[in-house]
Structure 1
Amino acid sequence: MEYRVVAYLAVFTGLGLALAPLSFPVGPTRAFPGQHFVNGVAGVVIGPWALAVAFLISLIRNMLGLGTVFAFPGSIPGALVVWLAATALRRFGKAHYAPLFEPLGTLGLGFPAAAYVVAPLLGVGERFITGLIPIFIGWAASTITGSIAAFFVAVALRRLGRL
């Protein structure tokens, strides 16, 4: 692994952990816009390594008691979609738009995984399904806010010639 990638992994993971207290409870989950922000920027800057960043932030937040197990399906799919979108958009010189695709991963892939796989395994399936709409709205607010912030950072990086 290249040293630059290791440095980016450390910086993005550290940034995500520094922002971790800014999460808010939504049913049995915790919504964390900072995770979606980091996913958006990391997916554009370091590509597939953004998945490792999402995993590490989720893992360490859980270990510190700042998150729940729902952090994994709530973050990793978003990073995946941003990386794939950045890869596709880079061909057209538009990779800075990739963070706007983060909600597709979080809400389109991660939310169903959380609702139909993780919640039943944890024994909170009924509680999750009962609050499905409020939880979805909380997750949507979190991911949309974080991805818009990441988009503005990606635009700034593009203008600086770093993308």
Structure 2
Amino acid sequence: MGVRLAYVVVFTGLGLALAPLNIPIGPTKAFPGQHFVNGLAGLVLGPWAVAVAALISAIRLMLGLGTVFAFPGSIPGALVVGLASVVFGRRPWVVLLEPLGTLGVGLPLSIYVVAPALGLGGRFAAALIPVALGWALSTGIGTAGAYAAALALRRLGKI
């Protein structure tokens, strides 16, 4: 448990250090660093990566570096990679599943649950295409970085 907690703290710190590098799109702030951390944390921690995603999202929100959309935009991606690393083992390619959670689960949650609950349904709908493209770009950049880092870690014998 102690080692796992240490990894949660380190990955959360990494995500927060990268937090200023976000892309404001409509009512959201896309954050490639979150997807990068989700991939690596999911690979190393399994489903515990959800704790990392939730902590980064909460702290970004408190610091004004993120929005409430950080939760549905990050937690599903971390969960998908974390579960995949349990099922398939610590193989670098599992980080490539992060967009499945972000775009396949997180974006619909944002559209149909979070935005209407916040009274932003119309504003989110008006920005839907830019938001979807921005999130796809964000998760693509972060996932590519996580995959490169996972390959490097594999070559170094760390995973």
Q: TM-score range by the shorter chain?
A: over 0.9
Tell me which residue corresponds to 1:154: 150
Which amino acid in the other structure matches residue 45 of structure 2?
I
CA distances 1:116-162 after superposition (whole Å, capped 9, x unpaired): 10000111111111111111000000001000100011111111111
CA distance in 2, matches of 1:80, 1:156: 22
Tell me which residue corresponds to 1:132: 128
2:101 counterpart of 1:105: yes
CA distances 1:75-121 after superposition (whole Å, capped 9, x unpaired): 0000011112222322xxx6110111100000000000001100001
Moved over 2 A (4+): none
Please give the secondary structure, in 1, of the residue aligned with 2:92: helix
117, 124, 146: which one pairs with 2:113? Answer: 117
Tell me which residue corresponds to 1:95: 91
CA distances 1:64-85 after superposition (whole Å, capped 9, x unpaired): 1110000000000000111122
Give the deviation of 1:49 after TM superposition: 1.0
Q: How does 1:1-163 map to 2 (within 5 A)?
A: 2-90=1-89, 95-163=91-159
TM-score (norm 1): 0.95
Conservation of the 8 A alpha-carbon contact between 1:44 and 1:95:
yes
CA distance in 2, matches of 1:149, 1:88: 22
Which amino acid in the other structure matches residue 20 of structure 1?
A
TM-score (norm 2): 0.97
The root-mean-square deviation of aligned C-alpha atoms, in Å, is 0.9
CA distance in 2, matches of 1:134, 1:63: 25
Tell me how many residue pairs correspond in the alignment. Answer: 159
Structure 1 portions without partners, runs of 5+: none
CA distance in 2, matches of 1:101, 1:138: 18
CA distance in 2, matches of 1:15, 1:30: 18
Please give the secondary structure, in 1, of the residue aligned with 2:20: helix
